[in-house]
Amino acid sequence: MKLSALDIAPLQSTFQLAGELEAAGFHRLWVGEHQPQPQPQLLVALIAGMTESIRVGTAGVLFHYHPPSRLAFDFRFLAGCYPGRIDAGICGGLIGDPLLELDQLDGRERAGHMARYDERVSAFMHALGERVEGEELEVWLHGSGPRSARLAARHGARFGYSLFHATSVDDPAAIQLYRDEFVQAGAGAGAGEPYTALAVAGVCAESDDEARRIAAQQRNSFFQQKVVGSPAVCRQALDELASRYRADEIAFATLCGDHQQRLASYRLLAGAMEIA
């Protein structure tokens, strides 16, 4: 099973972490969009330029606030610059801050715009067009429910299922729905076989007590820490989750306020999962 990282830390910490994750054997590094911040595509470009082999992408771009064709152009450009290393991941999440959201919607009526999510995803996929040979751009739809699962299946995209949001539901049915409907759709977008990643948050430390102590310092009620413990405990928990969901990959978000603790957590997890 592949192990990847989903980093939601301050930007400078993510940049410092990228090379370490690559050296430790992580398959990919995903960054989220948490306003106010630079657009995630910019972060992907910088991280890809600082590394050599690790895949880099978004999990995900808050799609409601981005023009589909412009976003598609950005990812096609990045895929051309870094062939075989870029993941274009989008989601239907919201900013949460009313003033920031008002600015990002730029005069668009909120309810009607949000209701056009499916239509706008289709426009994004159309703008991406046929993947240029050699680019190997992976397209991901991220979410935590059946709507995202169905959209990913319909467009032949890869599906990232979140278990780390406070509202996430631990239910493998969404991933099974994605697989079933992917096959029925005939993978029309040319992505091949269905492919899933399970996004999980937590802390890996030298001991269970140390992991729990670090986890207790995380005050963000937006996220839930599902896997917390020693390397052996974390490995068992991730193996069980991957088996229940039949996931192809785990994307782990280490929730630590301290950079060195975050780095140690990823290193310990890499050793436990034997990915080097």
Residue 26 belongs to domain with CATH number: 3.20.20.30
pLDDT over 60 (residue 187) = no
Length of the chain (residues): 276
Number of domains observed in the structure of the chain:
1
Indicate yes or no: pTM above 0.85. yes
The overall average pLDDT reported for the chain is: 90
Of 187-201, 225-239, 259-273, where does mean pLDDT reach its minimum? 187-201
List strand residue ranges (DSSP E) for the chain, in order: 2-7, 28-31, 55-58, 61-62, 86-91, 138-143, 158-162, 196-204, 227-229, 249-254
For 7-18, write each residue's pLDDT tens digit.
Answer: 887 778 889 999
CA distance 113 to 98: 15
Tell me what pLDDT residue 188 has.
45
Domain span including residue 182:
2-273
Of 133 and 45, the structure prediction assigns the larger pLDDT to 45
